[in-house]
Amino acid sequence: MKEGLDWLERAPEARASLLYRLVRLAARFVLFGLFRFRIRTSGQEHLPKGRGYLLIAAAHRGWMDPFVAMHAVPSEPRCWFLGSGPSTFTSRWRESLVHRLGGLLPVWRGGLGVAGHVRSARAVVDAGAVFVQMPEGTVNGPPGRVGPFRPGAALIALRTGATIVPLAIAGTEELYLGRRMASQVLAPTSARELLGDAWDGVLPEADSRAELELAKRASEALAARLTPVVEALYPWTVDPPAKPRRLRRRLTWLLLGPGPLQHEAS
């Protein structure tokens, strides 16, 4: 199966097309009108202007996270995500719509690997758009805390040299009518800044143990920046126990595929 740029068959665009704007408006009506979700966001003054960048978001706890990320940034330049092909393309019409709409670069289990993802990210950033990553790689984890990062996002940052914009997210682990969520854009950084003076700036050989270790160090440094912000945002999203949680199970699972969902606070 084709994935990434090979599936898209065109260069990713930063411009928000009319179709994209209409779909975005429809999604906002459903999320904020019908579901009455509330998202408090801040830090938009940190967003780079006039160039593409990597938006790296945590904590990733549910299907709302991509929508929270898109809510935190303008409609243009637009966002592009790596996403699961099997989970998204459950019918031919959905694949056709997503192909025309854009915004998703599908991946398949056992597919291209990090080199293909780097190619996709570089194309998005070079187009002046936003390449969104959620490095925890799973929606499982304790609410209000950041889980371990997988090294893929940091590898992409290392190889592309692109600007990194961290995004803290809280309150998406459990959804119901009127749910409160929060996000905060942090100051831009880079793999070079995250690694500090301990790195000489020379990239190790691709796919080497040295490159992987460098990516792990950058991931840990990025997680350390995001962790206190996520923890500070989380209390505002917590409703009193007596508040009705209407449609909780249906909304929490609305766009999640089958599998475990573990959000223990321990």
Domain at 4-240, CATH from 3.40.1130, 2.40.160, 3.40.50, 3.30.310: 3.40.1130
Lowest mean pLDDT among 108-112, 144-148, 259-263: 108-112
Question: What's the half-sphere exposure (Cβ side, CA atoms, 13 Å) at 108?
Answer: 11
Q: Are 138 and 147 within 8 A, CB to CB?
A: yes
φ, ψ (nearest 5 deg) of residue 248: -55, -55
Which pair of tokens denotes residue 53? 């960048």
Name the band, by pLDDT with cuts 50, 70 and 90, for residue 264.
Answer: low
Per the listing, tokens 């929508």 go with 67
pLDDT digits (tens, 9 = 90+) for 154-203: 999 999 999 999 999 999 999 999 999 999 999 999 999 999 998 998 99
Name the band, by pLDDT with cuts 50, 70 and 90, for residue 110.
Answer: low
Rounded distance between C-alpha atoms, residue 169 and residue 166, angstroms? 10
Task: Over range 93-105, report the average pLDDT.
Answer: 92
β-bridge partners, 84:
107
- Mean pLDDT computed over every residue of the chain: 93
pLDDT for the residue numbered 68: 98
What residue spans define the domains of the chain? 4-240
pLDDT for the residue numbered 266: 41
For residue 73, is pLDDT > 60? yes
Torsion, Cα of 131, 166, 51, 213 (10° steps): -70
β-bridge partners, 131:
54, 80
Name the band, by pLDDT with cuts 50, 70 and 90, for residue 36.
Answer: very high
pLDDT for the residue numbered 112: 62
Which pair of tokens denotes residue 257? 């595929």
Q: Are 173 and 238 within 8 A, CB to CB?
A: no
